[in-house]
């Protein structure tokens, strides 16, 4: 029988836990332990790896009110430093603001990928989008003049507030990462906008989209050929076949 190591006891005892953490991050102690764990015959399919820059998932919301209840959010992935002025999130905000006006974009979250999540970064990125809202397809993103044509979802302000509260709780527990999205179930408590045919995902399945600009009302075809329209709101009409 293998010997039982009371790691829970180590965690509960603050002094012992502090001593262990100090030992682990001193010199090459952690390197030796990690190599030993990865070489172990008892290892299954997972590996342990140190990282200087952790992979992050971020969410930037477009605060332009196409609809009073709904929001568009770009959810992406970065391996770069997230605290610098020229971070990936800052670049995304600038590009959105350039089209929709200063202050229209805001970063809602920047979370490290759960360190015990064995999925690829891309898989986690896709998973987070599904947990947050309905996917926006490339055609609709192009019609709405989004600076990025992919990685968008549509969600509600109420759900964004719910996510923020959950992240705040995780931050207080010093455990804020993408695991906060586990168990989230996006069920909007507001009506789907008229431009959405499918309640499961936005795939451009509208029949006719009308774009209201500050100057005039234009149809979908005009919106796709004219690049500099300032969109005020969108509305769609379905044909009954």
Q: What's residue 79's pLDDT?
A: 87
CA 240 to chain centre: 36
Per-residue pLDDT tens for 169-194?
A: 999 988 899 999 998 888 765 555 54
Confidence of residue 91 (pLDDT cuts 50, 70, 90): very high
Per-residue pLDDT tens for 97-118?
A: 888 888 889 999 999 999 999 9
- CA torsion sign, 221 to 224 to 226 to 228? positive
Residue bearing the bigger pLDDT, 45 or 198: 45
How far from 217 is each of 99, 206, 209, 212, CA to CA, in Å? 19, 17, 11, 5
According to DSSP, the residues that pair with 61 across neighbouring strands are 73, 106
CA 225, CA 185: separation in Å to the nearest integer? 37
Cβ neighbours of 191 (radius 10 Å): 10
Q: What's residue 162's pLDDT?
A: 93
Q: What's residue 160's pLDDT?
A: 93
Q: What's residue 66's pLDDT?
A: 59
Q: What is the mean pLDDT of the chain?
A: 77
Q: Write a three-state SS string for 130-180.
A: HHHCEECCHHHHHHCCCCCCCCEEEEEHHHHHHHHHHHHHHHHCCCCEHHH
Confidence of residue 1 (pLDDT cuts 50, 70, 90): very low
Per-residue pLDDT tens for 24-75?
A: 889 888 998 899 999 999 888 899 988 888 899 999 998 866 556 788 999 9
How far from 83 is each of 7, 52, 92, 137, 241, CA to CA, in Å? 33, 14, 14, 30, 53
Considering 25-29, 192-196, 211-215, 234-238, the range whose residues carry the highest mean pLDDT is 25-29
Q: What's residue 214's pLDDT?
A: 41
Q: What's residue 132's pLDDT?
A: 93
Q: What's residue 111's pLDDT?
A: 95
Q: Which residue has tokens 């009954």? A: 240
According to DSSP, the residues that pair with 154 across neighbouring strands are 72, 134
Q: pTM value?
A: 0.72
Q: What's residue 68's pLDDT?
A: 62
DSSP annotation of 203 reads -
Is residue 120 scored above 50 in pLDDT? yes
């Amino acid at each position: 029988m293998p010997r039982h190591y009371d790691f829970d006891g180590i965690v509960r005892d603050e002094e012992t836990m502090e001593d262990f953490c100090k030992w682990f991050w001193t010199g090459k102690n952690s390197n030796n332990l990690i190599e030993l764990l990865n070489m172990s015959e008892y290892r299954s399919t997972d590996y342990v790896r140190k990282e200087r820059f952790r992979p992050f998932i971020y969410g930037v919301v477009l605060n332009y009110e196409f609809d009073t209840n709904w929001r568009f959010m770009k959810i992406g992935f970065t391996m770069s430093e997230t605290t610098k002025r020229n971070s990936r999130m800052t670049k995304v905000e600038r590009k959105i603001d350039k089209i929709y006006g200063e202050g229209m974009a805001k970063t809602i979250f920047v979370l490290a990928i759960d360190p015990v999540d064995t999925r690829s970064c891309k898989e986690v990125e896709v998973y987070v989008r599904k947990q947050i809202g309905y996917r926006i397809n490339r055609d609709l993103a192009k019609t709405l003049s989004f600076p990025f044509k992919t990685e968008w979802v549509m969600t509600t302000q109420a759900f964004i507030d719910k996510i923020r509260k959950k992240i705040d709780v995780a931050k207080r527990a010093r455990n804020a990462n993408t695991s906060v999205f586990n168990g989230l179930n996006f069920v909007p408590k507001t009506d789907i906008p008229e431009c959405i045919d499918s309640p499961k995902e936005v795939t451009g399945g509208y029949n006719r989209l009308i774009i209201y600009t500050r100057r005039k009302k234009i149809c979908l075809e005009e919106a796709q050929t004219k690049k500099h329209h300032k969109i005020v709101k969108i509305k769609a009409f379905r044909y009954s076949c």
